[in-house]
């Protein structure tokens, strides 16, 4: 649909410096970078209008999957150049990448957005760190939707950011659920076994769930916590884990 030459041109232009130093610098208004950016913004405007006409969330996601290739070379260039410009293409694609469950790329863009203190489009009420933490966490509440490593990476990425306790609690809950699932599936003889065995996974899950509960007493983790505590006691009783309680 888009030639390799066009994609390469967009990637190179997006890498170009955009003026004064500092975070969230404005995009240029003249020159080849500005011209290509405005063309992409116009295309994005048309695509956003198409999306508004789709009522089904599932169909919106599929439409984004077809559309996103138009913009990714520009995003790649912006990240490679580390320009820090306030770029509507980049911040919109962050949201699309999350919607499409493209977790590695979404995480790369999330790091860039927070590093340069970029603003989300005006139609989004949440601050970037809040949106990133909550959307990754929401995926973590759906079994098998996202790997533990991405949840933990987002926890590290947003640890110093200000956000509602309920959002941070949701992220800790998602991490706890992922760790509990790993504990349930733990195979002692597997080469990839976690150091400390199943009990280490249970302890890590309990720690995450405890933190979620401390941030939000309505986090909905009590039943899982109780079940994991019973599992740990059973392991201790059978000699599968040292008694440390």
Q: Are residues 170 and 71 in the same domain?
A: no
The pLDDT value recorded for residue 86 is 92
- Counting the structural domains of the chain, the total is 2
Question: Which residues span the domain enclosing 175?
Answer: 126-245
Q: What is the pTM of this model?
A: 0.88
Model pLDDT for residues 162-213, shown as the tens digit of each residue: 999 999 999 999 999 999 999 999 877 664 555 568 999 999 999 999 999 9
DSSP letter for each residue of 150-216: HHHHHHHHHTTS---HHHHHHHHHHHHHHHHHHHHT--TT-TTPPTTHHHHHHHHHHHHHHHHHHH-
Beta-ladder partners of 72: none
Distance CA 150, CA 137 (A): 10
Kindly state whether residues 90 and 142 are assigned to the same domain: no
**Tens-digit pLDDT profile for residues 38-96:** 999 999 999 999 999 999 999 999 999 999 999 999 999 999 999 888 999 999 999 99
Q: Are 209 and 181 in contact (CB under 8 A)?
A: no
User: Do residue 141 and residue 118 come from a single domain?
Assistant: no
Residues 120, 60 share a domain:
yes
Task: Report the pLDDT value the prediction gives residue 104, as an integer from 0 to 100.
Answer: 97
Stronger pLDDT, 215 or 16, i.e. the higher one? 215
pLDDT at 108: 97
Average pLDDT on 135-154 reads 96
15 and 119 both lie in a single domain = yes
pLDDT at 19 over 60: no
In terms of DSSP H, where are the helices of 68-127?
72-81, 88-99, 103-115
Shared-domain flag, residues 198 and 142: yes
Model pLDDT, residue 243: 46
Q: Which whole number is the average pLDDT over 141-164?
A: 96
Q: Evaluate whether 70 touches 43 at the Cβ level (below 8 Å).
A: yes
Domain's final residue, options 124, 140, 169: 124
Q: In this structure, are 1 and 90 located in the same domain?
A: yes
- Indicate if 159 and 118 belong to the same structural domain: no
pLDDT at 136: 98
Residues 108 and 179 in one domain: no
Q: Where is pLDDT greater, at 223 or 241?
A: 223
Find the mean pLDDT for residues 4-28: 69
User: What pLDDT sits at residue 1?
Assistant: 52
Which pLDDT score, from 0 to 100, does residue 245 have? 45
């Amino acid at each position: 649909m888009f030639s390799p030459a066009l994609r390469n041109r967009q990637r190179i232009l997006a890498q170009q410096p955009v003026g004064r130093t500092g975070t969230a610098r404005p995009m240029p208004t003249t020159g080849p970078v500005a011209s290509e950016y405005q063309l992409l913004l116009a295309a994005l405007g048309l695509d956003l209008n198409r999306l508004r006409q789709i009522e089904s969330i599932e169909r919106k996601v599929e439409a984004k999957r077809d559309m996103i290739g138009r913009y990714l070379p520009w995003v790649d260039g912006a990240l490679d150049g580390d320009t820090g410009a306030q770029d509507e293409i980049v911040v919109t694609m962050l949201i699309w990448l999350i919607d499409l469950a493209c977790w590695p790329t979404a995480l790369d863009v999330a790091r860039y957005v927070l590093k340069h203190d970029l603003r989300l489009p005006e139609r989004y009420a949440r601050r970037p760190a809040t949106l990133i933490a909550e959307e990754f966490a929401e995926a973590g509440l759906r079994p098998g939707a996202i790997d533990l490593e991405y949840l933990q990476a987002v926890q590290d990425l947003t640890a110093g950011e200000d956000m509602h306790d309920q959002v941070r609690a949701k992220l800790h809950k998602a991490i706890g659920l992922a760790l509990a699932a790993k504990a349930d599936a733990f195979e002692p003889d597997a080469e990839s076994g976690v150091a400390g065995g199943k009990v280490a996974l249970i302890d890590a899950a309990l720690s995450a769930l405890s933190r979620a509960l401390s941030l939000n007493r309505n986090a909905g983790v009590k039943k899982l916590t109780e079940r994991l505590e019973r599992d740990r006691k059973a392991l201790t009783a059978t000699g599968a884990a040292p008694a440390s309680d």
